[in-house]
Amino acid sequence: MKKFAIAIHAGAETVKRKEVSKAQEKAYRKGIEEALRTGNAILKKGGSAVEAVVAAIESMENNEHFNAGRGGSLNQFGEADFDAAIMDGRNLNSGSVGSVRYVKNPIKLALEIMQHCKHAFLAGTGAEEFALRQGLELKEPSYFVTEEKLKAWHESVLEEQIAGHDTVGAVALDQQGNLAAGTSTGGLMNRMKGRVSDSPIIGAGTYANNPYCAVSCTGEGDIIMRGSIAHEVYAQVKYGGEQLQAAAEKAITMHAKFLKGDMGLVSLNGEAEIAFAFNTNLMKRGYSTDGQKPVIALWDDEEV
């Protein structure tokens, strides 16, 4: 059996440890494990990296403890809308969706765009109409709004703050040697209506190219897109000759003078090498190689 692997993140941010309860920690670890096992099941059977990435992200979109799909952050008007992308490292095909509401699983819409649309990126009403035509599952707005996120929205509005930049993402290597990357997010809390994150922008929050690596980013999207962080990892590997971990760390730090804020990423190459890099104290992350028991970590002092 050839090598296969999957690695995921579920957000990076700088927080005080006491702000994350033991119950929340437990829910995060359980959700990460479920997503890894879901993706692993596909890879083990010989399924594609794209299928594994979509399945793992769908699992996290359905989990209200993560900022994607149900439980996503709310915009300035208390509405949930989403961005997502998928990229196939085998042929550089991609599908992206921005500012979409009602679609239960935005990552599945990104996949439909990649496979069945003449365009690579659809946003807003047009993306929703395409989802309807493709028969994707839709939900009423209240499905996405959880009590926890509604409370956080009220607090952010009262304090006139834009907060919370968790995102979920996955990278996978299948038994055919192909890579894929995907990212999905509910965006910033109390963001402007119409704001699009880095997640659906190819080269910013998501990138995959078979000979080099697959990358999914998380953190403050406005600075990640300005730094083209996902593509920067690829560039460090391809043109800089860097090993994957060094490339990932350089991508996070190289524009530190101009790009100030929380950033994190997960990357994977064709040798099943996995790299996590982040400048925060909390980075929800995990991986599994060759179907082995998932390795999961949350804090910066946890080894993976």
Feature table: binding site = 195-198, 218-221
Q: Directed axis angle between helix 49-61 and helix 22-44, to 10°?
A: 150
Q: Which CATH number fits domain 5-299: 3.60.20.30, 3.90.740.10, 1.20.910.10, 3.20.20.70?
A: 3.60.20.30
Minimal CA–CA distance to 143: which of 62, 262, 255?
62
Q: Which of 38, 167, 280, 289 is catalytic?
A: 167
* pLDDT tens, residue order, the chain (304 aa): 689 999 999 999 888 888 889 999 999 999 999 999 999 999 999 999 999 999 999 999 999 999 999 999 999 999 999 999 999 999 999 999 999 999 999 999 999 999 999 999 999 999 999 999 999 999 999 999 988 888 888 887 777 666 666 799 999 999 999 999 999 999 998 899 999 999 999 999 999 999 999 999 999 999 999 999 999 999 999 999 999 999 999 999 999 899 999 999 999 999 999 999 999 999 999 999 999 999 999 999 998 8
Catalytic residue flag (residue 167): yes
State the virtual CA torsion across 158, 191, 166, 211 in degrees, nearest 10: -170
Segments making up each domain of the chain, as ranges: 5-299
| Secondary structure (3-state) at 287 | strand
How many angstroms separate the Cα of 155 from the Cα of each of 65, 70, 161? 18, 19, 8
Residue 179, token pair as written in the block: 């890579």
Q: What is the DSSP code (8-state) at residue 282?
A: E
